C-alpha cells in the first residue's frame, strides 16, 4: 500500500484501499514510484475488476524508479497497482 499520497484531485483515490475510482471515462496516466530489490525483477500492473489493464517489468538497480503508465478506464471503474509475480519483492521507506 502506498501511504503517501502526493495528489488526489477530486478525491478519486482511496488511500485506505489503494484504489482509484474513475469519475469520468477516458485515458488516465498513473505514476508509480517503486523500489525493486537490487538485481531482482518487479512485475507491476495497473489492474481492475476486468484484469490487468497495463503491465510493467523492471530490474532493480541502486535507486528507485519512477514509471508512468497510461490506460483507458471506464466510468466508475476501480483500478489499483498490483505486484503480478509470486517472487516480486518491493520494499518501502517510511518517514
> Which CATH number is 9-83 given?
2.60.120.40
Can you spell out the DSSP letters for the chain?
-----S--GGG-EETTTTEEE-SS-EEEEEEEEE-BPBT-EEEEEEEETTEEEEEEEEEB-SS-EEEEEEEEE-TT-EEEEEE-STT--B-----
Reply yes or no on whether the pLDDT at 63 is more than 60: yes
The 10s digit of each residue's pLDDT in 3-55 is 678 888 888 999 888 899 999 999 998 877 777 777 777 788 889 999 988 88
Q: What is the pTM of this model?
A: 0.73
**pLDDT score, position 40:** 75
Mean pLDDT for the stretch of residues 70-94: 78
Amino acid at each position: 500500500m502506498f501511504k503517501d499520497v502526493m495528489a488526489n484531485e477530486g478525491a478519486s483515490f482511496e488511500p485506505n484501499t489503494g484504489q482509484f475510482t474513475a469519475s469520468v471515462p477516458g485515458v488516465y496516466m498513473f505514476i508509480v514510484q517503486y523500489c525493486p530489490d537490487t538485481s531482482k525483477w518487479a512485475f507491476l500492473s495497473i489492474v481492475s475488476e476486468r484484469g490487468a489493464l497495463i503491465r510493467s517489468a523492471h530490474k532493480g538497480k541502486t535507486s528507485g524508479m519512477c514509471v508512468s503508465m497510461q490506460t483507458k478506464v471506464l466510468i466508475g471503474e476501480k483500478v489499483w497497482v498490483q505486484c503480478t509475480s509470486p517472487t516480486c519483492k518491493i520494499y518501502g521507506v517510511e518517514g
